[in-house]
């Protein structure tokens, strides 16, 4: 009797152990920004991929905001647990310089466009760093309260005009974007903005323009703040991510509208942390998740433009709201009549220096 | 005393029943006890070492660490020693050749751009200088003049400032992070100079952090003292209930507490609505109570209040009610008895509470960054920026070190003025 | 000079209707078990508890509405309540400073009271650097330094060990005699009360059971509680058979008849408690010399040096105690043997049945 029990137990242990091995899935840790953004990735990339590959389990980590710092700390400790990190283009450049992320051969890893165009040509100059796989184009643009003015603001100069458009402003607590806008509003030729900004006089000129509205500005540092303040009526015009504004206008039906003049283009995409435990699997994932259809699919769930040229015609209606997404894309020709593309090299050189100056100016 | 010694000297060695000298036996028993107690504190000691001492040591090291320059430019740096950085002559051909070799060597393992980022913290433009040079230098094959070729690739290699920077940072350790942390830099001769007035930020934020923290500490005393007194004097049943109310904030997330203050204080918030409804405030002139210093002070006073109440309460609990009665029986009015007798006896609690609240508040950054706007941010917000945003960990560490030094100095000062034995947590 | 009359009502009466007066210069002790209301009574005199009903007078002046700090009453607490953040001198100076006395006078008074408690030279010490007895003395000195009309002491010796306590009892007594100050003293220790007091008020259940000189309290207790609480006492329960103004006849439950002094009885047929001090019982009295003579069996002998405590079984009670002086008589007593004992009518007091 005793022996039987013993044998059964032993058999159970062996069975469950082997079953455990068979059932164990490969877990890929993908770090992104959380909230609506991660949801859009989950629906457009992760869910279809896991359906096709039942042995893969994707785990979302929402700490992309502190991603570069955390990755650096993990690398320093010699214990990298992330497989893929979502990063803005400038951070991807910095991480690449630091040697913290893998360089990728875009044509080898990524799928070509449906017409056969190699990936590198399909993404074009959006590949701003050899480590970077761009996924979306997002814009920092302006939102305003429709109930605040009789005639709505139409140009960047209007943002700086407190007489015609009285009321609070909200801007990001960063020199990036604000400096460029200030100079353009002050009459600088948009093509020469970075040339002017490279000189101390140019910086002074930007500060002088910003001085004219400084007392009315609430500075934001996380993406949710500007929309919240616009909705609460704390401010009447402010810069915000276009996806957030779209959500407030289209989904929440807030009395807000967008002003696309000199919207500020930036990129967001993937980098592979050096020391990722599943390098092979994650490359396989990227081949699927960064193909033309998948990038176009993401626009169904969030109002950001796909980074592949070949994806643009495939953008359809919003999955839940049924709104045609094309007119809300920053890349839509009507919206993109005046647009600024972030000069990554310039900001890689000057971000630290100008941020200190900017913060000193803000605090003053 | 001497008598006892004599007796001891004259006596034979005492032994236990089985003949072991008594002293040895006692020592063994004591050693066993000591070993057991050592074993018991070992986990704590290891924990403190790993979670506390190592990180602090690491931070102190990071704030002066500069070995990256020597590491990435092993051929260039020794040669630069003979170059006169105060003159107007560029380094010679040999140094340029060494530079090209160093950069090409660094390109192989793709770590040379790290150096560019490091130098960029001191001088804007270094980052792109390296990134642009790397590709082109790789293609450079035995040129006639390395110097001319390198300068052709990027004119900044012909700039004295670039070379001065490299030479200045060629030591394994550097004070430059600390220079930056006190709003300064170096002039051409390498001497410390302060930044122009309108570009100073760190010291300003240090002063603000300290002043606001003092204010917050003061408010927690003003609010916490009566609460603690009530808690200490009410019947246990009632005071336990009140204590739960005091501790309630501890059980909710810091973010929830902070955002609920936003809901209360914002222009369209509960308090403004109430004031407009009562008619105290005109609808067009709603009060701005958030995204400024008021927001920081209000939210942080609320969050840190329990840290003042708890030590005060536990100290007050130990003060016998008879002290006040005695004072009054001797002719002191209620007020005088409180001032001369009760208050001095609560000083250890006030001291402990102040130290707790003050030290916690000068290190806060989530709350100030959410409700502080521009006038209510703390130095920790900039430390967070350098750790998470700019990845300039050296500067972040230098700022952190200064904060640590300040707290330690304060601690010493407190010891001198009030005495550390006068701190009581309970 | 002082006439206190008060009652203290809450949901229950802690102090029931009570009258007491203390004469100037008197040392009056309130004695009783804990919870008997003696401390509450003291707190009312001091002004820390309001009297719900009645009026307290000090020097013929009603002081119910006078706040504690204006009453001019010195107080010594059980925990001494010396201020730990002040030195001895500062502690003593506190009541003087409150009264805005000159520096010179303060100094003199501090010196005087420190001499009085024999602690010269301790001015600079903190209370924590003093022994319990020294702290106690400083507490006494502090209560007297401002010459109060009245000093209240709330079990001031409770925290001291036995030897020190006995020594301090005498010291406080001497200080009192020297200064002639009025003292109200609270204790639950009857020997302390007997040692120190001019008069003792025995408290129980919020009522003063008896207020009298110590010897009278011992010799002539007015009720069973006092008889039991003060000193040792043999109790015999029985019914009253007959009684006149002076004496009465009691039938015990064992049917023995005892003649006793009529002190506090209800009337014929009622129950009563007979109280008899152990030292008043005589072993082997001459036959017929006393009205009460009974047979007793020796149950237990305890040797206590100067006397032998003897437990006897008498009239159905086996807890009857007799103190036998340590003399040749001891030889006569052995455990288990039966002896004759007797006592006089005056020594056996018939009291109320309770207690």
Chain-centre distance for alpha carbon B123: 26
* pTM score of the predicted model: 0.80
pLDDT at A18 over 80: no
Of B320, B331, B345, the CB nearest to C85: B345
Task: Please give the structure tokens belonging to residue C336.
Answer: 């288990």
Q: What are phi and psi of C77, to 5 degrees?
A: -100, 160
| C69/B333 touch (CB, cutoff 8 Å), yes or no | yes
Give the tens place of pLDDT for each residue, C285-319.
Answer: 888 788 888 888 998 888 888 888 889 998 888 88
Q: Which residues contact A351 (CB under 8 A, 6 or more apart)?
A: A90, A175, A176, B390
Give the tens place of pLDDT for each residue, B157-172.
Answer: 999 999 999 999 999 9
Q: Stretch B195-212: mean pLDDT, rounded? A: 90
Give the tens place of pLDDT for each residue, A228-272.
Answer: 889 988 899 999 999 889 989 988 899 999 999 999 999 999 999
Kindly tell me the number of DSSP H helices and DSSP E strands found in chain A.
16, 10
Give the tens place of pLDDT for each residue, C242-274.
Answer: 888 888 888 888 888 888 888 888 878 888 888
pLDDT at A2 over 70: no
Which residues is C295 bridged to in the sheet? C340
Interface test with A, best of B113, B115, B201, B398 (most A CBs within 10 A): B201
Handedness of CA C91, C95, C100, C106 (dihedral sign): negative
Residue ranges matching CATH 2.40.50.140 in chain C: 236-351
Q: What b/e sequence results for C185-215 when a residue is b if at least 16 CB atoms lie within 10 Å of its CB, and e otherwise?
A: bbbbbbebbbbbbbbbbbbbebbbbbbbebe
Instruction: Return the pLDDT at B3.
Output: 43
Q: How far, in Å, are B124, C7, C33, C189, C272 from residue C208 at the CA level?
A: 93, 12, 12, 16, 21
Is residue A340 within 8 Å of A262, Cβ to Cβ?
Answer: yes
| Chain B residue at shortest CA distance from A234 | B267
| Distance of alpha carbon C141 from alpha carbon C148, whole angstroms | 12
Domains located in chain B, CATH noted: 2-54 (no CATH), 68-170 (no CATH), 202-422 (1.10.3720.10)
Which residues is A56 bridged to in the sheet? A26
| Distance of alpha carbon A206 from alpha carbon A213, whole angstroms | 12
Asked whether the domain spanning A139-265+337-363 has the same topology as the one spanning A7-137+267-328, the reply is yes
| Chain B residue at shortest CA distance from A207 | B198
Give residue B1's pLDDT band: very low, low, confident or very high (50, 70, 90): very low
- What superfamily would CATH give domain C4-224? P-loop containing nucleotide triphosphate hydrolases (3.40.50.300)
Q: What are phi and psi of C84, to 5 degrees?
A: -70, -20
Interface test with B, best of C45, C94, C110 (most B CBs within 10 A): C94
The CATH number, out of the four listed (3.40.190.10, 3.40.50.720, 3.40.710.10, 3.20.20.70), of the domain defined by the range A139-265+337-363: 3.40.190.10
pLDDT at B422 over 80: no
Cβ atoms within 10 Å of B53's Cβ, excluding its own:
11
Q: Stretch C138-147: mean pLDDT, rounded? A: 91
| Distance of alpha carbon B27 from alpha carbon A277, whole angstroms | 54
Q: Do chains A and C touch (3 or more CB pairs under 8 A)?
A: no
Set of chain B residues whose Cβ sits within 8 Å of the Cβ of C99: 331
Instruction: Return the pLDDT at A142.
Output: 96
Set of chain C residues whose Cβ sits within 8 Å of the Cβ of B328: 47-48, 67-69
| C98/B326 touch (CB, cutoff 8 Å), yes or no | no
| Distance of alpha carbon A108 from alpha carbon A288, whole angstroms | 13
Give residue B8's pLDDT band: very low, low, confident or very high (50, 70, 90): very low
Interface test with B, best of C48, C70, C81, C91 (most B CBs within 10 A): C81
Instruction: Return the pLDDT at A189.
Output: 94
**Domain positions in chain A:** 7-137+267-328, 139-265+337-363
What ipTM was reported for this prediction?
0.80
Instruction: Return the pLDDT at A23.
Output: 57
A7-137+267-328 in CATH: which number? Answer: 3.40.190.10
Give the tens place of pLDDT for each residue, B213-272.
Answer: 999 999 999 999 999 999 998 888 998 898 888 888 778 888 888 888 888 888 778 898
Of B320, B323, B331, the CB nearest to C69: B331
Q: Stretch B56-64: mean pLDDT, rounded? A: 93
Is residue C87 within 8 Å of B336, Cβ to Cβ?
Answer: no
| Distance of alpha carbon B379 from alpha carbon C150, whole angstroms | 62
Chains that touch A (3 or more CB pairs under 8 A): B
Chain-centre distance for alpha carbon B146: 47
Residue ranges matching CATH 3.40.50.300 in chain C: 4-224
C236-351, what's its fold? Answer: OB fold (Dihydrolipoamide Acetyltransferase, E2P) (2.40.50)
Backbone φ/ψ region at C206: left (φ over 0), alpha (ψ -120 to 50), beta? left
pLDDT at B106 over 60: yes
Which residues is A57 bridged to in the sheet? A27
DSSP C291: S
Set of chain B residues whose Cβ sits within 8 Å of the Cβ of C47: 328
Give the tens place of pLDDT for each residue, C148-175.
Answer: 888 999 988 887 888 888 888 888 888 8
Strand-pair category, A305-306 with A133-145: antiparallel
Q: Stretch B138-144: mean pLDDT, rounded? A: 83
Set of chain B residues whose Cβ sits within 8 Å of the Cβ of C81: 320, 322-323, 325-326
Among A96-105, A168-177, C57-66, which stretch is predicted with the lowest mean pLDDT?
C57-66
Instruction: Return the pLDDT at C14.
Output: 59
Residue in the structure block whose two tokens are 């070729």: B149
Q: Tell which A residues from 236 to 295 touch B, by Cβ distance under 8 Å.
A: none
Q: How far, in Å, are A353, B91, B93 from residue B148 at the CA level?
A: 30, 12, 9
């Amino acid at each position: 009797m005793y022996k039987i029990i013993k044998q059964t137990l032993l058999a159970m242990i062996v069975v469950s152990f082997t079953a455990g091995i068979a059932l164990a899935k490969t877990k890929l840790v993908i770090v992104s920004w959380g909230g609506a953004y991660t949801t859009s990735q989950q629906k457009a990339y992760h869910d279809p991929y896991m359906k096709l590959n039942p042995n893969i389990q994707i785990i979302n980590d929402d700490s992309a905001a502190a991603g570069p710092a955390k990755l650096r700390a993990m690398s320093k400790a010699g214990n990298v647990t992330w497989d893929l990190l979502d990063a803005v283009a400038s951070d991807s450049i910095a991480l690449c310089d630091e040697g913290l992320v893998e360089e990728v051969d875009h044509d080898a890893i990524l799928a070509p466009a449906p017409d056969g165009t190699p990936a590198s040509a399909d993404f074009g100059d959006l590949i701003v760093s050899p480590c970077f796989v761009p996924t979306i184009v997002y814009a920092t643009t302006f939102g305003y309260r429709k109930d605040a003015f009789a005639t709505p603001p139409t140009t960047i100069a209007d943002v700086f005009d407190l007489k015609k458009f009285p009321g609070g402003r909200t801007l990001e607590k960063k020199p990036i974007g604000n400096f460029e806008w200030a100079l353009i509003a002050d009459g600088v030729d948009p093509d020469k903005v970075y040339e002017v900004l490279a000189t101390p006089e140019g910086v002074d000129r930007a500060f002088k323009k910003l001085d004219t509205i400084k007392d009315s500005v609430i500075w934001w540092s996380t993406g949710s703040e500007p929309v919240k303040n616009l909705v609460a009526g704390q401010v009447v015009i402010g810069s915000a991510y276009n996806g957030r504004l779209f959500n407030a206008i289209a989904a929440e039906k807030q009395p807000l509208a967008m002003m696309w003049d000199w919207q500020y283009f930036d990129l967001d995409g993937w980098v592979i942390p050096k020391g990722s435990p599943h390098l092979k699997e994650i490359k396989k994932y990227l081949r699927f998740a960064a193909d033309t259809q998948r990038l176009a699919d993401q626009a169904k769930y969030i109002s950001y433009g796909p980074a592949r040229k070949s994806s643009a015609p495939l953008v359809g209606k919003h999955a839940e709201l049924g709104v045609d997404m094309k007119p809300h894309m920053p890349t839509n020709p009507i919206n993109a009549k005046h647009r600024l593309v972030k000069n990554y090299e310039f900001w890689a050189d000057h971000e630290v220096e100008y941020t200190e100056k900017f913060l000193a100016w803000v605090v003053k | 005393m001497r008598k006892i010694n004599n007796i001891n000297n004259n006596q034979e060695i005492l032994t236990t029943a089985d003949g072991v000298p008594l002293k040895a036996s006692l020592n063994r028993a004591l050693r066993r006890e000591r070993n057991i107690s050592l074993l018991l504190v070992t986990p704590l000691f290891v924990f403190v070492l790993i979670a506390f001492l190592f990180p602090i040591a690491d931070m102190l090291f990071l704030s002066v660490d500069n070995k990256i320059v020597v590491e990435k430019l092993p051929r260039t740096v020794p040669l630069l020693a003979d170059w006169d950085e105060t003159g107007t002559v560029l380094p010679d051909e040999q140094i340029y050749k060494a530079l090209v070799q160093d950069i090409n060597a660094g390109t192989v393992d793709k770590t040379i751009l790290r150096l560019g980022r490091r130098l960029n913290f001191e001088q804007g433009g270094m980052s792109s200088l390296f990134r642009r040079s790397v590709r082109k230098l790789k293609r450079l094959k035995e040129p006639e003049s390395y110097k001319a070729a390198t300068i052709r690739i990027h004119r900044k290699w012909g700039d004295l400032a670039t070379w001065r920077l490299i030479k200045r940072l060629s030591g394994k350790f550097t004070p430059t992070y600390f220079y930056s942390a006190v709003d300064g830099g170096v002039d051409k001769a390498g001497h410390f100079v302060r930044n122009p007035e309108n570009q100073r930020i760190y010291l300003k934020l240090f002063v603000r952090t300290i002043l606001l923290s003092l204010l917050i500490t003061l408010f927690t005393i003003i609010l916490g003292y009566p609460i603690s007194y009530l808690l200490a004097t009410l019947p246990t049943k009632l005071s336990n209930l009140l204590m739960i109310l005091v501790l309630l904030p501890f059980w909710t997330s810091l973010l929830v507490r902070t955002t609920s203050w936003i809901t209360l204080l914002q222009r369209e918030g509960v308090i403004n609505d109430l004031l407009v409804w009562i008619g105290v405030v005109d609808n067009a002139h709603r009060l701005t109570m958030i995204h400024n210093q008021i927001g920081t002070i209000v939210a942080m006073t609320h969050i840190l209040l329990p840290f003042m109440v708890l030590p005060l309460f536990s100290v007050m609990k130990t003060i016998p009610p008879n002290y006040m009665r005695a004072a009054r029986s001797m002719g002191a009015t209620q007020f005088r008895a409180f001032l001369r007798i009760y208050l001095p006896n609560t000083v250890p609690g006030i001291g402990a509470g102040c130290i707790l609240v003050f030290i916690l508040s000068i290190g806060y950054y989530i709350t100030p960054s959410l409700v502080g706007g521009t006038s209510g941010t703390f130095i920790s917000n900039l430390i967070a920026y350098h750790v998470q945003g700019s990845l300039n960990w050296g500067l972040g560490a230098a700022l952190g070190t200064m904060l640590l030094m300040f707290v330690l100095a304060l601690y010493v000062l407190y010891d001198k003025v009030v005495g550390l034995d006068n701190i009581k947590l309970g | 000079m002082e006439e206190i009359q008060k009652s203290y009502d809450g949901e229950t009466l802690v102090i029931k209707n009570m009258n007491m007066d203390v004469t100037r210069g008197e040392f009056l002790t309130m004695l009783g078990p804990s919870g008997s209301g003696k401390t509450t009574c003291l707190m009312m005199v001091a002004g820390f508890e309001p009297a719900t009903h009645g009026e307290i007078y000090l020097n013929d002046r009603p002081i119910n509405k006078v706040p504690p700090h204006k009453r001019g009453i010195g107080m010594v607490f059980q925990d001494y309540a010396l201020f730990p953040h002040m030195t001895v001198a500062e502690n003593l100076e506190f009541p003087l400073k409150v009264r805005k006395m000159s520096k010179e006078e303060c100094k003199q008074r501090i010196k005087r009271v420190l001499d009085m408690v024999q602690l010269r030279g301790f001015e600079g010490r903190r209370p924590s650097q003093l022994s319990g007895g020294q702290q106690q003395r400083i507490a006494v000195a502090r209560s007297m330094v401002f010459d109060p009309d009245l000093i209240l002491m709330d079990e001031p010796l409770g925290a001291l060990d036995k030897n020190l306590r006995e020594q301090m009892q005498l010291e406080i007594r001497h200080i009192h005699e020297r200064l002639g100050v009025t003292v109200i003293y609270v204790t639950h220790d009857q020997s302390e009360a007997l040692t120190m007091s001019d008069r003792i008020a025995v408290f129980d259940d919020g009522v003063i059971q008896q207020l009298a000189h110590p010897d009278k309290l011992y010799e002539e207790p007015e009720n069973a509680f006092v008889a039991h609480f003060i000193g040792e006492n043999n109790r015999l329960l029985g019914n009253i058979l007959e009684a006149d103004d002076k004496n009465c006849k009691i039938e015990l439950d064992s049917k023995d008849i005892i003649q006793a002094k009529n002190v506090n009885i209800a009337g014929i047929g009622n129950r009563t408690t007979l109280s008899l001090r152990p030292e008043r019982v005589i072993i082997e009295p001459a036959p017929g010399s006393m009205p009460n003579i009974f047979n007793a069996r020796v149950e237990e002998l305890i040797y206590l040096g100067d006397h032998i405590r003897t437990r006897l079984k008498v009239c159905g009670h086996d807890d009857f105690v007799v103190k036998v002086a340590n003399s040749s008589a001891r030889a006569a007593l052995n455990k288990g043997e039966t002896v004759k004992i007797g006592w006089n009518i005056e020594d056996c007091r018939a009291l109320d049945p309770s207690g």
